[in-house]
Structure 1
Amino acid sequence: MTEQVTIIDTLVVGAGQAGVAMSEHLTTLGIPHLVLEKNRIAEAWITGRWDSLVANGPAWHDRFPGMEFKHVGPDGFVPKDQVAEYFTDYAQKYDAPIRTGVEVLRVTRNEGRPGFRIETSEGLIEAHRIVASTGPFQRPVIPAIAPNDEAVLQIHSAQYRNPQQLPEGGVLVVGAGSSGVQIADELQRAGKKVYLSVGPHDRPPRAYRNRDFCWWLGVLGLWDAAASQPGKEHVTIAVSGARGGHTVDFRRLAKQGVNLVGLTQDFTDGVVTFQPDLTDNVNRGDENYLSLLDAADAYVARNGLSLPEEPEARHFLPDPECMTHPTLALNFADAGITSIIWATGYVADYSWLQVAAFDEKGKPRHQRGVSSESGVYFLGLPWLSRRGSTFIWGVWHDAKYIADHIATQRQYGAYREADPRQSEI
């Protein structure tokens, strides 16, 4: 008995923000497609984030052009569950052909004919094109230095939900990007003794001269940067929309009661050691912060804008004790630390996509999401086309570019050589 095969022009794998955006553009262009999602639409926003998370960009900026958020003002920061609801509503608006609860197990290229064979949890599919829109947050990364200590609870930030899930005692948060900073702040406010391991980072102002930093990056053309600066490919960004949005200030966190330490180096016999780089990391973050203020001031002067001056934005608190006399080693028992939260990022997982679209390190080979392997596309990755690719609005624009490319390829595929018996007149 021959197994039934579903045939479609374009298969989109993943129905997060990338997959929903991709479906909209394919629908607009009239391209037959199907979106498969192994969980629910925008599942990562629902179950892969902590309870109090809000979007890091204001509602006027961090959305798709075709629909606004409900019940949140333009300058508000949308709670995670409402973000997930937004994508579900958006998919319904465009009647997106999304099938949830279907996992893609294996994709291989057809032999001797166009397209791909897709094995799923609900049968076989054949498609001319594959759009991998599963994003970068597939597998949480915990570094190999993590201690083998059953007395200490260790979880990744992807598993953190709220302070109540942690045992009594202090917490070491490793990683000071947006997730690590917000989690450390929340835990300290809940009464926990918190140590925050701070590595290299960028630290933009939340707002300056009555404009959010998202606006400043837009008018300054910085969202359109095509590549990260050399040496900053893995530098995290410390920004927060929590409690109405505020600038991340490590000195203020220290004054609040968070114990800052340098980059986590090693764990041995119940003792964790840190690199002596805390002050350098904080100072370099300050340089990034001040450079944006300088660029904003120059833009205001150049364009004659009437935006209020904000000299206090350049005033820093004195360096706290933890910076002037940094902690280089910490005994867990003496410090009362019973938990470690690893806010150390993720890696993408493309083990299901078994085609020649990756380099020797397993990274996708692509130009603006168009893979080196014909018919394969990537969407939802940081710096896919520019700095803004990480944000909700950025992935929408990246999806449009890819959809246009697919439409062009379909036109080439539909070409038929003219009958040589016909002559031009």
Structure 2
Amino acid sequence: MSNVQATHYSVIVVGGGQAGLSVSHFLQRANIDHLVLEKHTLTHTWRTQRWDTFCLVTPNWQCALPGHPYSGADPHGFMKKDEIIAYLDGFIGKVNAPVLEDAAVTRVRRGADGRYIVASTRGEFTADRIVVASGGYHTPIVPRMAERLPVQIAQVQSSDYRNADALPPGAVLVVGSGQSGAQIAEDLHLAGRKVHLAVGEAPRCARFYRGRDVVDWLADMRYYDMPVTDHPLREGVRDNTNHYVTGRDGGRDIDLRRFALEGMELFGRLEDFRDGKLRFAPNLRANLDDADDTYNRINASIDGFIAKHGMDAPPAARYEPLWQPDGERIELDLEASGIGSVVWCIGFTPDFGWLDAPVFNGRGHPAHLRGVTAVPGLYFIGLPWLHTWGSGRFSGVARDAQYVVDAICAERANAPDRVSIACA
């Protein structure tokens, strides 16, 4: 939408990724006028913040955006970066959302009349309701110790990493072993680079177990339908680091112990840099063991499911460590190690500073129930575990978007003085 005429809308959606576009899909079905404001271009993050060999870590069949399920020839494969973009382009074309791109929202506040006032770099708008669909990964986390590293050390954050050749010569320190860190460490390792990996507390899971993708098993076990309110950790699960695994080359486990046998240097959590030395916590063994415990625990739950239903499947197996660290190395001389670059893979923090609403906790996360906040007319979507595991993914965002739009319809029905178009 290039020529925006109206300044007031029933709904303004902030963010034009898969979550915002999914909301637009259901708003159009409900015949509700709206505008999507996108800071850059539609699905910008997928196009600009992924490395060259990036691929999905969940099978293609889980790509189920509203009205746009995966229809390719490899439902149990893992789309690569270009294929993901093509899939999203198809979704963009189907939704045909009323969108204003290059419109960074700078402030949203609620006026005395109950309407929301939206200031953006493309002008000011008002709306009866706001759907925040900008995600929860905004500001890259880089520790202050990074400022003390020598200037000749190249430093990039995971969202800026592209490939091994884009980094200067020398060994590479990858900090963090979550989903991105483990895959980037693997990418560098396969490219023949010497990798030092600071291993965090991320769990891992098998790619395939007892003849099937683990995702297929967990889907049958209804794990992906479990609401956050039923999870043993409740809302605490939103803080969990994603399990590391990969869809690369048809999908496989990521086993850091195997990498160690092949020459990758593993350390515990990076804690400091001083006197020319990197300092690590003595927790490498514990972190590896905990990740393997999660791996085996998930597989054991699959064993139980198979046994309960009397299913025919290949025999059960338990992962046994291929390698154990010989003590805990807590120091590494930066110059002697030959490290020429550091890739920070320790996540992001949310930044909703532009939203003036009393819905945030002390960590900057919004309080909500399935995306519905206590503030009238304010909704969120696309956040990790907003409702289920798939809430921030292609697999679950459609269900969340439908729920939020249904909530908007219900609110409109209870506020007839502010309704201009009835929900279908």
**Match for 2:268: what amino acid?**
G
> What is the rounded CA distance, in whole Å, between the counterparts of 2:330 and 2:359 in structure 1?
43
> What is the rounded CA distance, in whole Å, between the counterparts of 1:61 and 1:52 in structure 2?
20
Q: 1:5 offset after TM fit, Å?
A: 6.0
Alpha carbons of structure 1 residues 41 and 84: separation in structure 2 relative to 1, 3 Å: farther
Matched position secondary structure for 1:195: strand
> What is the rounded CA distance, in whole Å, between the counterparts of 2:174 and 2:73 in structure 1?
31
Does the CA contact (< 8 Å) of 1:185 and 1:258 recur in 2? no
Q: 1:368 offset after TM fit, Å?
A: 1.3
Task: Report the equivalent of 2:296.
Answer: 290
**Match for 2:63: what amino acid?**
D
Correspondence list, 1:58-69, <5 A: 58-64=59-65, 66-69=67-70
> What is the rounded CA distance, in whole Å, between the counterparts of 2:227 and 2:72 in structure 1?
33
Q: 1:359 aligns with which of 358, 361, 367?
A: 361
Task: Report the equivalent of 1:190.
Answer: 191
Task: Report the equivalent of 2:103.
Answer: 102
Deviations 1:10-46 (A, max 9, x none): 0001111111111112122222211111211111011
Larger mean CA deviation between 99-108 and 227-236 belongs to: 227-236
Task: Report the equivalent of 1:319.
Answer: 323
Unaligned segments of structure 2, at least 5 residues: 419-424
> What is the rounded CA distance, in whole Å, between the counterparts of 1:192 and 1:106 in structure 2?
44
**Are 2:391 and 1:385 equivalent residues in the alignment?**
no
Task: Report the equivalent of 1:121.
Answer: 121
Task: Report the equivalent of 2:263.
Answer: 257
**Are 2:276 and 1:270 equivalent residues in the alignment?**
yes
Matched position secondary structure for 2:61: coil
Q: 1:246 offset after TM fit, Å?
A: 0.8
Does the CA contact (< 8 Å) of 2:63 and 2:69 recur in 1? no
Q: 1:70 offset after TM fit, Å?
A: 5.8
Does the CA contact (< 8 Å) of 2:382 and 2:393 recur in 1? no
**Match for 2:389: what amino acid?**
R
Larger mean CA deviation between 81-90 and 269-278 belongs to: 81-90
Q: 1:104 offset after TM fit, Å?
A: 1.5
Does the CA contact (< 8 Å) of 1:271 and 1:331 recur in 2? yes
Q: 1:415 offset after TM fit, Å?
A: 7.1
> What is the rounded CA distance, in whole Å, between the counterparts of 2:63 and 2:320 in structure 1?
29
Alpha carbons of structure 1 residues 64 and 228: separation in structure 2 relative to 1, 3 Å: farther
Does the CA contact (< 8 Å) of 1:139 and 1:347 recur in 2? yes
Does the CA contact (< 8 Å) of 2:21 and 2:95 recur in 1? no
Larger mean CA deviation between 374-383 and 217-226 belongs to: 217-226
> What is the rounded CA distance, in whole Å, between the counterparts of 1:396 and 1:270 in structure 2?
50
> What is the rounded CA distance, in whole Å, between the counterparts of 1:125 and 1:263 in structure 2?
46
Task: Report the equivalent of 1:404.
Answer: 406
Matched position secondary structure for 1:237: coil
> What is the rounded CA distance, in whole Å, between the counterparts of 1:82 and 1:212 in structure 2?
21
Matched position secondary structure for 1:31: coil
Q: 1:252 offset after TM fit, Å?
A: 1.3
> What is the rounded CA distance, in whole Å, between the counterparts of 1:193 and 1:228 in structure 2?
40
Q: 1:407 offset after TM fit, Å?
A: 0.8
Task: Report the equivalent of 1:11.
Answer: 12
TM-score, structure 1 as length reference: 0.91
Alpha carbons of structure 1 residues 68 and 386: separation in structure 2 relative to 1, 3 Å: closer
- Report the count of equivalent residues: 408
> What is the rounded CA distance, in whole Å, between the counterparts of 2:6 and 2:33 in structure 1?
16
Does the CA contact (< 8 Å) of 1:11 and 1:127 recur in 2? yes
Does the CA contact (< 8 Å) of 1:206 and 1:240 recur in 2? yes
Matched position secondary structure for 1:60: helix
Does the CA contact (< 8 Å) of 2:8 and 2:125 recur in 1? yes
Task: Report the equivalent of 2:309.
Answer: 303
Alpha carbons of structure 1 residues 72 and 15: separation in structure 2 relative to 1, 3 Å: farther
**Are 2:229 and 1:229 equivalent residues in the alignment?**
no
Does the CA contact (< 8 Å) of 1:177 and 1:239 recur in 2? no
Deviations 1:196-240 (A, max 9, x none): 111112111112122222222222232215146387634342121
Task: Report the equivalent of 1:93.
Answer: 94
Deviations 1:165-220 (A, max 9, x none): 11110011000011001111111111211011111121111121222222222222
Deviations 1:310-357 (A, max 9, x none): 53xx2434324xx12332110011110111100010112112212222
Does the CA contact (< 8 Å) of 1:61 and 1:393 recur in 2? yes
Alpha carbons of structure 1 residues 380 and 228: separation in structure 2 relative to 1, 3 Å: farther
Matched position secondary structure for 2:119: strand
Matched position secondary structure for 1:57: coil
Q: Please identify the structure whose Cα radius of gyration is greater.
A: 1
> What is the rounded CA distance, in whole Å, between the counterparts of 1:325 and 1:33 in structure 2?
60
**Match for 1:58: what amino acid?**
P
Q: 1:8 offset after TM fit, Å?
A: 0.6
Matched position secondary structure for 1:118: strand
Task: Report the equivalent of 2:158.
Answer: 157
**Match for 1:366: what amino acid?**
H
Correspondence list, 1:202-213, <5 A: 202-213=203-214
**Are 2:148 and 1:142 equivalent residues in the alignment?**
no
**Are 2:250 and 1:244 equivalent residues in the alignment?**
yes
Matched position secondary structure for 2:64: coil
> What is the rounded CA distance, in whole Å, between the counterparts of 1:369 and 1:79 in structure 2?
30
> What is the rounded CA distance, in whole Å, between the counterparts of 1:162 and 1:33 in structure 2?
40
Q: 1:301 offset after TM fit, Å?
A: 1.4
Does the CA contact (< 8 Å) of 1:41 and 1:84 recur in 2? no
TM-score, structure 2 as length reference: 0.91
Matched position secondary structure for 1:126: strand
